[in-house]
């Protein structure tokens, strides 16, 4: 290993240990508040968890734009684009689907919202997404300048990206929230976040009792990191690839839940209390789709009740159905039975 490889390995080791220590602490905290039945020997924790309601709170960095934006800002802004896409899916596309299914499409009106799928495709569409090109550059003998040139060349006709003047290391992405100019200087170095297998083996077999436990995760976790690394593809060793896999898992989990959104607005760029910059605030409200959401709620039906809930609440008002249970009502009414199936 040369000096650069040693520095990369050192930094990667520090990041990996911090990440695993953080995850280990979270798991230990969750373990201490588990109900007693979870702690019984042989208990199927996964099955037990499925029978318990839980609330998950996701709080991440907001959209970032600085004077110099690097791969960290690219990752954070990519996450915010994915969360905005989830918001669009639930609020707008989900609304369209419900109204079309109910035969109420004429009442919906026109939904004017900005779909950010083109930006996400620019960042992560295989095989020429920006993240893929960064990983590809790290796999060969290249430079940051060559990486930037390759990104701009591959997406020369893409309206979501632009090349600034007077620099060979920067590119501009037209994000949902704002245009961001990224500087490629250090992209490849930061993305090379892999640990050599010999370092993993040293950590895994360390004589320090706590180190292997922290590195593996929760006490008793038998997943060996060395085997895990071998099972992964070659690109998964890079920071960008690891990050996208985590975001993919996060989106899968969020899509399986009933999501509620809290939109946070930054009132000013100086962190000054009681100061609201109107243009800055209004710009965030627009790009987050808040105004469009208000319009949708105003023009559609914001209060929803299922057939069963509606019948149980108002069924007694009908002499025909008075005294009947919801099950009896469905059995007596073929049309209603068909509606509840749908």
Structure tokens, 259: 């999501």
Report the sign of the C-alpha dihedral through residues 233, 239, 240, 242, in that order.
positive
**Distance between CA atoms of 30 and 27, rounded to whole angstroms?**
5
Domains annotated on the chain, with CATH: 3-255 (1.20.58.530), 307-341 (no CATH)
pLDDT beyond 90 at 82:
yes
CB-CB contact of 173 with 58 (8 Å): no
**Distance between CA atoms of 214 and 237, rounded to whole angstroms?**
20
Q: What is the pLDDT of residue 154?
A: 96
292, 293, 187: which is closest to 240 by C-alpha? Answer: 187
Check residues 127 and 325 and name the one with the higher pLDDT: 127
Task: Write down the H helix ranges in the chain.
Answer: 3-32, 45-50, 71-88, 94-101, 105-108, 117-124, 130-138, 144-154, 187-191, 197-204, 210-216, 225-231, 239-255, 278-287, 290-299, 307-314, 326-332, 334-341
How would you label 39-49 residue by residue, b for 16+ Cβ within 10 Å and e otherwise? eeeeeeeeeee
Residue matched to tokens 């702690």 = 39
Q: What is the pLDDT of residue 331?
A: 61
Q: What is the pLDDT of residue 30?
A: 73
pLDDT tens digits, residue range 100-148? 877 777 766 666 677 899 999 999 999 999 999 999 999 999 999 999 9
* Mean model confidence pLDDT for the chain: 79
Instruction: Provide the whole-model pTM.
Output: 0.73
Q: What is the pLDDT of residue 259?
A: 87
Question: Left (φ > 0), alpha (ψ -120 to 50) or beta: where does 42 sit?
Answer: left
User: 23 falls in which pLDDT band (50, 70, 90)?
Assistant: confident
Q: What is the pLDDT of residue 121?
A: 97
pLDDT beyond 50 at 218:
no
Report the sign of the C-alpha dihedral through residues 315, 319, 322, 326, in that order.
negative
Structure tokens, 2: 């040369």
Cβ count within 10 A of residue 91: 18
Q: What is the pLDDT of residue 199?
A: 72
Stretch 63-86: mean pLDDT, rounded? 93
Residue positions counted in the chain: 342
Q: What is the pLDDT of residue 308?
A: 77
pLDDT beyond 70 at 231:
no
Long-range own/partner contacts, residues 321-325 (CB < 8 A, 24 or more apart): none
pLDDT tens digits, residue range 30-71? 777 777 777 777 777 666 666 666 677 787 878 888 999 999
Q: What is the pLDDT of residue 342?
A: 45
């Amino acid at each position: 290993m040369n000096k650069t490889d040693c520095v990369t390995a050192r930094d990667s080791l520090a990041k990996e240990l911090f990440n695993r220590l953080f995850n280990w602490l979270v798991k230990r905290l969750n373990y201490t508040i588990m109900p007693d039945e979870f702690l019984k020997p042989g208990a199927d924790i996964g099955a037990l968890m499925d029978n318990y309601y839980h609330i998950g709170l996701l709080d991440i960095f907001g959209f970032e734009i600085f004077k110099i934006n690097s791969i960290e800002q690219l990752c954070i802004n990519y996450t915010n684009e994915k969360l905005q896409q989830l918001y669009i899916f639930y609020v707008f596309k989900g609304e369209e689907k419900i109204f079309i299914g109910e035969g109420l499409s004429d009442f919906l009106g026109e939904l004017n919202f900005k779909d950010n799928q083109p930006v996400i495709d620019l960042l992560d569409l295989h095989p020429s997404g920006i993240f893929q090109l960064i990983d590809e550059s790290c796999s060969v003998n290249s430079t940051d300048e060559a990486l930037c040139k390759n990104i701009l060349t591959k997406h020369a006709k893409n309206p979501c990206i632009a090349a600034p003047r007077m620099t060979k290391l920067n590119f501009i992405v037209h994000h949902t929230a704002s245009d961001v100019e990224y500087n490629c200087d250090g992209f490849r170095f930061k993305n090379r976040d892999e640990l050599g297998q010999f370092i993993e083996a040293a950590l895994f077999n360390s004589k320090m009792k706590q180190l292997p436990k922290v590195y593996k995760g929760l006490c008793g976790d038998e997943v060996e990191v060395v085997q895990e690394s071998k099972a992964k593809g070659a690109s998964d060793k890079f920071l960008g690839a690891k990050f996208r896999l985590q975001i993919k898992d996060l989106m899968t989990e969020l899509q399986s839940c009933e999501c509620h959104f809290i939109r946070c607005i930054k009132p000013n760029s100086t962190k000054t209390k009681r100061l609201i910059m109107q243009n800055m605030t209004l710009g965030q409200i627009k790009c987050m789709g808040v105004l469009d959401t208000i319009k949708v709620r105003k023009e559609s039906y914001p209060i929803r009740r299922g057939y069963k809930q509606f019948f149980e609440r108002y069924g007694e008002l009908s002499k025909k159905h008075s005294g009947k249970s919801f099950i009896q009502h469905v059995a007596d009414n073929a049309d209603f039975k068909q509606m509840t199936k749908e």
